[in-house]
């Protein structure tokens, strides 16, 4: 298959993809075609990286048993991160904090996602995890273009040995982001972001960019 035919699949206008790509944490259980997962990973690997080293590895997890085990590890990691922040149980959270509530729900259902893509750094990344970030955004945009929802999540260092053992990952590699992927239960929608004049300047910090 010529390389161009994969890129042709991602035909959604870029503006639509970028402006309507919310974090999708509730996923339908419907399976995602392996072809689609392969193609979004192919889009990920087109991303730039430091010195073009491509110190990454994309581990597509589709097997139900592996997903269930990863789900249990994710839950443990999520609570390990919360404990680091001083939270120990669900009642410690503000119930009006929608992102937190949604993230906690995801922690309980992570293994139910029809697929999870582990965005890993290989040993040549030398603990510099930033190189995998552009590939992650490519993957999210490509998924959006195919009508697939996804969310960036991260694990906790305390579970990394368990994840390496579960997936036979070599020493020196680690998971930078774990991305559940599937068809959304809700809708994609416009993102909520700070206004442009709060986050951008012209020529000197604080000098406003002219309004459109």
Ligand X SMILES: Cc1cc2nc3c(=O)[nH]c(=O)nc-3n(C[C@H](O)[C@H](O)[C@H](O)COP(=O)(O)O)c2cc1C
Contact pick of 151, 163, 179, 181 for ligand X (by CB under 6 A): 151
Shortest distance, position 13 Cβ to ligand X, whole Å: 18
Contact pick of 43, 73, 106, 169 for ligand X (by CB under 6 A): 106
- Binders of ligand X among residues 31 to 60 (CB under 6 A) are none
- Binders of ligand X among residues 158 to 197 (CB under 6 A) are 191-192
Q: Which stretch binds ligand X (CB under 6 A): 19-27, 109-117, 139-147, 194-202?
A: 19-27
Nearer to ligand X, 48 or 170 (CB): 48
Spatial separation of the C-alpha atoms in residues 176 and 7, rounded to whole Å: 25
Nearer to ligand X, 14 or 202 (CB): 14
Shortest distance, position 128 Cβ to ligand X, whole Å: 15
Shortest distance, position 25 Cβ to ligand X, whole Å: 6
Spatial separation of the C-alpha atoms in residues 86 and 109, rounded to whole Å: 23
Spatial separation of the C-alpha atoms in residues 162 and 165, rounded to whole Å: 5
Contact pick of 3, 99, 127, 199 for ligand X (by CB under 6 A): 99
Please say whether the dihedral angle defined by the alpha carbons of residues 106, 107, 113 and 115, taken in this order, is positive or negative.
positive
Residues with Cβ within 8 Å of 164's Cβ and at least 6 positions away in sequence, in order, are 170, 171, 173, 174
Q: Which stretch binds ligand X (CB under 6 A): 5-13, 22-30, 32-40, 42-50?
A: 22-30
The 10 Å CB-count burial string (b at 16+, else e) for 118-143 is bbbbbeebeeebebbeebbebbbbbb
Neighbour order of strands in the sheet with 149-150: 56-61, 115-121, 174-182, 149-150
Spatial separation of the C-alpha atoms in residues 97 and 102, rounded to whole Å: 9
Q: Which stretch binds ligand X (CB under 6 A): 2-10, 18-26, 43-51, 112-120?
A: 18-26
Helix (H, G, I), strand (E, B) or coil at 126: coil
Shortest distance, position 36 Cβ to ligand X, whole Å: 21
- Write out the E strands in 41-160: 56-61, 115-121, 149-150
Contact pick of 12, 17, 18, 23 for ligand X (by CB under 6 A): 23
Chain residues in the site for ligand X (CB under 6 A): 22-23, 25, 99, 103, 106, 151-154, 191-192
């Amino acid at each position: 298959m010529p390389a161009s035919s994969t890129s042709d699949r991602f035909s959604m206008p870029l503006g639509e993809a970028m402006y309507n790509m919310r974090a999708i944490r509730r996923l339908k259980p419907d399976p995602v075609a392996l072809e689609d997962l392969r193609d979004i990973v192919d889009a990920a690997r087109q991303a730039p990286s430091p010195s073009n080293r491509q110190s990454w590895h994309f581990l597509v997890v589709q097997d139900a048993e592996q997903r269930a085990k990863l789900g249990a590890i994710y839950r443990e990691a999520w609570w390990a991160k919360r404990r680091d922040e001083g939270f120990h149980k669900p009642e410690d959270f503000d119930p009006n904090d929608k992102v937190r509530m949604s993230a906690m729900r995801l922690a309980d259902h992570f293994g139910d996602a029809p697929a999870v893509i582990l965005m890993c750094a290989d040993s040549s990344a030398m603990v510099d995890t930033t190189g995998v970030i552009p590939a992650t955004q490519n993957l999210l945009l490509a998924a959006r273009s195919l009508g697939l929802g996804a969310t960036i999540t991260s694990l906790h260092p305390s579970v990394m040995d368990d994840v390496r053992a579960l997936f036979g990952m070599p020493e020196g590699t680690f998971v930078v982001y774990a991305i559940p992927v599937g068809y959304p239960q809700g809708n994609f929608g416009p993102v909520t972001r700070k206004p442009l004049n709060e986050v951008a300047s012209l020529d000197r910090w604080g000098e406003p960019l002219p309004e459109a």
